Chains A and B, each alone.
Chain A
Amino acid sequence: MKIKFKIKRYNPAEGEPAEPYFQAYTLDVEEGMSVLDALLKIADEQDTTLSFRRSCRSSICGSCAVNINGFARLSCATQVMPEYAKMGDMVIEPLSNHVPLKDLIVDFNPFWSRIEKVAPYLTPTSRRARRRGDVPARENDGARVTARDEEAIDKSQRCIMCGCCNSECNALEIDDRYIGPAALAKAWRLVGDVREGNSRKRLERLSEEHGMWNCVRCVHCTQYCPKSVSPLKQIESLRSRAMKEGVLDNPGAKHVEAMADSVKRVGRLDEAAMTFRTLGFLRSLGMIPFGLKMERHGKMPKPLLFPQIENIAEVRDIYEEAERLEKEDRERKKG
């Protein structure tokens, strides 16, 4: 079957500044052929100047992620026929949220720098600290990791660093200093490891600006991850561990607390009050222009201060039940 591929080309040597453009190639596609096979065939037979990254061609090395019909995918793990049947087109572009260097090759240095920022290596509790009893008994176990401990970090271990999640991340699109889902999944790999000695320090650092609280929970990272790493799940694990460990002095954690309090108090989100709780008085003043803009567009919640909802007693019952369950769980773990 003949299928037309529209591939985004870019070569910095072609002009100052060079402009990207689309080039079409028609290819005879066989059943089972992957997008990577197609790119290789085009490069072998039609246009040897086409550049793209590739290596293992079995979805484990993470080299070949590109944008296929608008979404970040591994080109080796995407078959042409079903994709074409579904979308009626084959548009191949470089990953989003990354700067193209040539054709489908993007600059991955910012990706690696983000990974490096989370100090992606185990820093185990020192023997001396264990002897002194500075660490809880569970961490005292040294190299003994149970199957359950392994389970907690299993998904985060599957990451192949292909960049699909960062490419689709909405938070990264608006804040290019945001650390991004890939690095956060890696961070949980370490924070969630029972042998790690610096979990709290890591969580404090991750709670800083452009850190884990920047995630807007759009679920794209999880949706587009080709290896089921579920970065969002790992980000949530980081956040809830931070709350449990009392790393609370940051807007992210305060926002969560304010949200929980607001629901408990009035049964719904009291947005104005939450702003004060999250940012504090002075920084909330800085939000006034934003509030005026909201008002102009008719987006200001009214009234500004909410009355309690009618069935607030039911909401509080839910809270009580949740607190009871959590307590039970804690005691069971201790026992």
Chain B
Amino acid sequence: MRAAIEAAAEGLNVAVVSKVYPVRSHSVAAQGGINAAIKDTDSWENHMFDTVKGSDYLGDQDAIEILCKEAPRDIMELERMGAVFSRDPSGNIAQRPFGGAGYPRTCYLADRTGHGLLHLMYEQLLKHEVFIYDEWHVARLVVEDNVVRGIIAIELRGGKLHRLHSKAVIIATGGYGRVFHTTTNALSSTGDGMGLALNAGLELMDMEFVQFHPTTLKRTGILITEGARGEGGYLLNSLGERFMANYAPTVKELASRDVVSRAEKTEIDQGRGVNGCVLLDLRHLGADRINERLPQIRELAINFAGVDPLTEPIPIRPGAHYSMGGIMTDVDGATKIKGLYAAGESACVSVHGANRLGGNSLLEAVVFGRRAGAAAARRCLACAAPEFPDSALRDSAHDIADILRRDNGETASALRQEMTLVMEEHCGVFRDSEKLIAGLAKIRELKQRYGKVSLSDKGDYFNSELLAVLELGHMLDVAESIAAGAVARKESRGAHYRTDFPRRDDREWLKHTVVRKEDSELKISYKDVNISRYEPKERTY
């Protein structure tokens, strides 16, 4: 949406196509905040260093420099658009400490930062008269001679296929958390854009780096913000110990997410968990602070885990949260296909490298969304509309008719269940060669079976089952990319932890993994990391 606003402000004719209404998109669930060095005592260089270190030195430093330098400008712009970030007593924008950051630089709107900013983007879409095709699912990207021509999309309401002819397309479809069984992500976070990109011939980068968030609610995997620890929450094991002292003695609970998730998993695996969880204790913060700064967290804990954080600790465990990897782009969101851009979680610029810091994802979406929108606008103003191939609509219609025609096969939901369990078991917080190879084989087997999936709803109106089949196709592609990258990377870096290769290996592996599809097979290659300011060092918290 940020990209659409930027392009619309240039006077272009812009539309947003989304399988959900824009205010339903999963950025709405981002809680904790958005980072920017806006105080005199902080600097963009500090923010950059924290981000580089957090990325375990895999982030591209040219991109990170842009992210951190432009952050304050974007925060002020969001305020001018109408956001009201929470204030400190003197009326300035308040900031809270976040994991892996050497300075409290996370701006926030209580614990609903994503909600506030997503609704703000929606307001601006209306202000700029951007056309919204809501509940339209993109069936394919139309590309010919390495130039994007537009898209084909299904209108879910009536099942009709439409062609949208355009000079530029920006993919901003978010993450793929639903590939895993335990995830903070929405049911709609199925990695569609990454799947579409692979099929259009684009490259995905660093897909093996999956962020597992340390604090997700027991059973449901619903997110409990890092802000809860930022405000001073403790993590306790079954013995009542603040176990983070053993893993990150200086910053304890505020170590980077990968570090905290591994610590929790170790405690649970070694028998110091509580019913497969550890405990997040907020009681010592007191009712006032919890009600003022973390009202949504209290509500979520009560409604979804039956626990009131004022009187009881919250049972939490790690869950799949964020995709560091994604569609490979340059710092303007451009891909190798002309006119095709990507931004946000679905893209990999890469600013997060092997592990993202809390508060950097909304920032990435805003900064690089804006840049991608501007770049796409420049291209649109400079070129004529390319021709739209007649065959595209026909081909899509055939694909969908093929799915609808099949009978007596497995259901998409059964296959999806299997896939999420395989990914959890084989590509989780702790990985090793044996588990990964077996996991990759299982995913490939599931892909074979996917070809025979059939559905019982053959209708046109809101065919949720058809949508589930299309989503599953993308998820399987994404799952395979994750597993293939993870099998190949024989080191531990950031969120990718191999028990058989527990050390980081800069000599062999200080490089990005790049996967692309060739004749429906994944091919892996590698790309150098951009290192400008900060040479790799050992990473401790």
Partner-B contacts on A (CB < 8 A): 11-13, 32, 34, 40, 43-45, 48-52, 54-63, 77, 79, 101-103, 105, 108, 112, 116, 119-122, 124, 143-147, 149-150, 153, 157-161, 190, 193, 195
Contact = CB atoms under 8 A, between A and B. Distances in A.
A121 B126 contact: yes
B187 A55 contact: yes
A62 B303 CA distance: 16
Contact of B91 (A60, A62, A102, A146): A146
B223 interface: yes
B28 to A, nearest CB: 5
The 4 closest A-B pairs by CB, nearest first: A122-B82, A121-B123, A49-B457, A44-B413
Contacts of B24: 55-56, 61-63
Contacts of A124: 80, 82
Contacts of B25: 61
A45 B411 CA distance: 9
A149 B187 CA distance: 36
Contact of A61 (B124, B186, B455): B186
22 contacts: A12-B461, A13-B459, A32-B304, A32-B305, A43-B464, A44-B411, A48-B465, A52-B464, A55-B188, A56-B26, A56-B187, A57-B220, A58-B223, A59-B300, A60-B296, A61-B28, A62-B24, A79-B303, A108-B21, A157-B84, A193-B84, A195-B82
Given A56-B187, A160-B115, 19 more contacts: A13-B459, A32-B306, A44-B413, A49-B459, A50-B464, A51-B464, A56-B24, A56-B28, A56-B29, A57-B220, A58-B222, A63-B21, A79-B303, A116-B126, A119-B127, A145-B91, A150-B86, A150-B87, A157-B109
A102 B465 CA distance: 14
B23 interface: yes
A10 to B, nearest CB: 9
Nearest to B463: A51
A168 B116 CA distance: 25
A12 B23 CA distance: 27
B84 A150 contact: yes
A56 B186 contact: yes
B222 A57 contact: yes
Interface residues of B, number: 56
A105 B91 CA distance: 44
Contact of B87 (A45, A120, A145): A145
Contacts, number: 140
Contacts of B123: 120-122
Given A13-B461, A58-B222, A77 B303 contact: yes
Contacts of A161: 23, 119
Contacts of A153: 84
Contact of A48 (B21, B91, B455, B461): B455
Nearest to B24: A61
B119 to A, nearest CB: 8
Contacts of A146: 87, 91
A57 B186 contact: yes
Contacts of B157: 101
Interface in B294-339: 296, 299-300, 303-306
Given A101-B461, A120-B123, A121-B123, A147 B89 contact: yes
Contacts of B28: 56, 60-61, 160
B87 A147 contact: yes
B126 A157 contact: no
Nearest to B76: A143
Contacts of A145: 84, 87, 91
Given A43-B464, A48-B456, A61 B23 contact: yes
Contacts of B187: 40, 54-57
A44 B416 CA distance: 10
B431 interface: no
Contacts of A34: 304
B160 interface: no
Given A116-B126, A121-B124, A121-B126, A48 B84 contact: no
With a 10 A CB-CB cut-off, give which of B119, B223, B300, B306 has the most chain A CB atoms. Answer: B119
Interface string B424-466: 0000000000000000000000000000000111011111110
Contacts of A11: 459, 461
A131 to B, nearest CB: 17
A43 B455 CA distance: 12
B91 A147 contact: yes
A161 B26 CA distance: 14
Contacts of B186: 55-57, 61
B400 interface: no
Contacts of B124: 121
A48 B462 contact: no
Contacts of B115: 60, 160
Nearest to A157: B116
A114 to B, nearest CB: 12
B500 interface: no
Contacts of B126: 116, 119-121
Contacts of B303: 59, 77, 79
A108 B24 CA distance: 13
Contacts of A143: 76, 79-80
Contacts of A60: 28-29, 112, 115, 296
Contacts of A56: 24, 26, 28-29, 186-187
